[in-house]
Amino acid sequence: MTKRTVKKVFFIEPLDLHGVKHSDVSKIVEDFVLENQDCCPLKIITGNSFKMKNLVKQVLDYHKFKYMDGDYYNRGYIDVLS
């Protein structure tokens, strides 16, 4: 008889950047992504602010994360894939 292994899946709450100052975004996103990089995919809620999205993407590009920018109906978030 073989023992079945169950893969544990951890759900990480999305990072919501509504109400966060642009000057604080880089530090907050960097901390969130690096602490939870083993639990990808991660979701970062940016809203529709072009500047907020660019600040988040700069951090993700710097640390060489792959990401996807929202979907067709909701462009207000970024999925961090790996």
Tens of pLDDT along the chain (82 residues) come to 555 555 555 678 999 999 999 999 999 999 999 999 999 899 999 999 999 999 999 999 999 999 999 888 999 999 999 8
Domain presence at residue 4: no
**CATH number assigned to the domain comprising residue 27:** 3.30.1370.110
Domain presence at residue 8: no
pTM above 0.75, yes or no: yes
15-53: b (≥16 Cβ within 10 Å) or e: bebeebeeeebeebbeebbeeeeeeeebebbbeeeeebb
The total number of structural domains that make up the chain: 1
Domain carrying residue 40? 15-80
27: three-class secondary structure by DSSP: helix
The Cα 47–Cα 77 span in angstroms is: 6
